[in-house]
């Protein structure tokens, strides 16, 4: 596989370096752009140094670019200016979404698509996650720049939430946007006690008007078909707010949905704290192209 540009987000998780090395060892990569967040620069300094050394050893050009996690406007401009310099129309780019916040994934997809790149993505599963919390202290949700949809006046809003293990996070989104009702996309499967910790907990949400549908973020379309079927009946007379709180590949499905249905607004809830022991190791990969 030939890759003009590999884009990744630096992380303290093992899978950042291991994933980068695996990709470079198996594909022909011309250049790597690694975005890192200033707020976590200390946590990622070691892995960035390792990534740099590896790229140099493999004679792959590497560029690091810093972003401010708490300043989305600033981050958007920075991502854009880097990609404008690095991408030429027709370039094959590979976005490693494994350790990349969803907001950055969507922004990179949007800008790279506009620049005429052909986009592939790769998601490396870790061997395991911390048994404690993964991220916490959620900040105010926000719409993603340029993917905030085309809202219609005078119609009710529906929230489409692809759920994860944190039912409070779902409730926060509902409380914030106060939709007429919520469509809960519940991940199928029994991995990581999914039925108990995700499905049952969400079905027990009290005081919330919701409908549910099943979705599989690990399917080839990452659940897009199921989401499309769920939202289609509302496309003409509702504004839709969509958010991914579940498995990372579901972010791909939501991006595609928003391109297909421009009335959908993509919402992101930033976390203010991440666990330093978020995950360990690296396992299989999920990959595809937009």
Please report, as ranges, the residues that interact with other proteins according to CB under 8 A: 72-73, 76-77, 80, 110-111, 114, 136-143, 145-154, 157, 166, 168-169, 171-172, 176-178, 180, 239, 241, 262, 265, 267, 272-273
Q: How far is the CB of 175 from other proteins (least distance, A)?
A: 8
Q: How far is the CB of 272 from other proteins (least distance, A)?
A: 6
Q: How far is the CB of 184 from other proteins (least distance, A)?
A: 18
Toward other proteins, which CB reaches closer, 57 or 71? 71
Closest CA to 107 of 272, 258, 280, 263: 258
**CB 121, min distance to other proteins, A:** 19
**111 or 257: CB nearest other proteins:** 111
Residue for token digits 């590949």?
249
Query: DSSP for 144-166?
Result: PTT-S----TT--EEEEEE--S-
Vertex 192: Cα angle to 182 and 275 (nearest 5): 85
- Cα-Cα-Cα-Cα dihedral of 6, 103, 70, 47, to 10°? -30
Residue with tokens 């800008």: 111
- Considering the complex, what minimum distance in angstroms separates the CB of residue 63 from other proteins? 20
Query: In the complex with other proteins, which residue's Cβ is closer, 41 or 180?
Result: 180
Instruction: Return the number of the residue (16 or 35) whose C-beta is nearest other proteins.
Output: 35
C-beta closer to other proteins: residue 83 or 227: 83
Q: What token pair was written down for 172? A: 């926060």
Q: Do 43 and 80 form a contact (C-beta atoms < 8 A)?
A: no
Minimum CB separation of residue 155 from other proteins in Å reads 9
Residues in CB range of 194: below 8 A, 6 or more apart = 187, 188
Report the residue count for the chain.
290
Question: Which CB, 36 or 165, lies closer to other proteins?
Answer: 165
The residue among 71 and 200 lying less far from other proteins, judged by its C-beta, is: 71
State the minimum distance, in angstroms, from the CB of residue 14 to other proteins. Answer: 25
């Amino acid at each position: 596989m030939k890759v003009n540009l590999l884009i990744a987000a630096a992380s303290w998780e093992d899978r950042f370096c291991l994933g980068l090395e695996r990709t470079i060892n198996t594909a022909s990569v011309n250049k790597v752009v690694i975005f890192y967040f200033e707020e976590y620069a200390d946590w990622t300094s070691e892995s960035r140094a390792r990534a740099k050394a590896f790229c140099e050893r493999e004679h792959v050009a590497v560029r690091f670019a810093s972003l401010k996690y708490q300043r989305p406007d600033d981050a958007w401009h920075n991502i854009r200016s880097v990609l404008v310099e690095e991408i030429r129309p027709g370039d094959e780019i590979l976005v490693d979404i494994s350790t990349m916040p969803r907001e950055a994934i969507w922004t990179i997809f949007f800008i790279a698509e506009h620049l005429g790149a052909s986009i592939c993505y790769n998601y490396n599963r870790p061997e395991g996650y911390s048994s404690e919390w993964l991220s916490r202290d959620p900040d105010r949700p926000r719409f993603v720049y340029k993917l905030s949809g085309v809202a219609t006046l005078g119609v009710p809003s529906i929230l489409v939430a692809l759920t994860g293990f944190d039912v409070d996070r779902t409730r926060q989104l509902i409380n914030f946007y106060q939709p007429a009702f919520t469509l809960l996309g519940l991940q199928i499967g029994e991995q990581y006690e999914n039925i108990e910790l995700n499905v049952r907990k969400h079905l027990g949400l009290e005081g919330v008007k919701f409908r549910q549908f099943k979705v599989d973020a690990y399917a080839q379309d990452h659940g897009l078909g199921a989401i499309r079927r769920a939202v289609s009946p509302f496309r003409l007379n509702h504004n839709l707010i969509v958010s991914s709180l579940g498995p990372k590949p579901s972010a791909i499905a939501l991006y595609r949905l928003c391109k297909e249905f421009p009335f959908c607004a993509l919402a992101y809830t930033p976390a203010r704290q991440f666990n330093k022991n978020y995950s360990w190791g690296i396992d299989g990969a999920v990959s595809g192209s937009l």
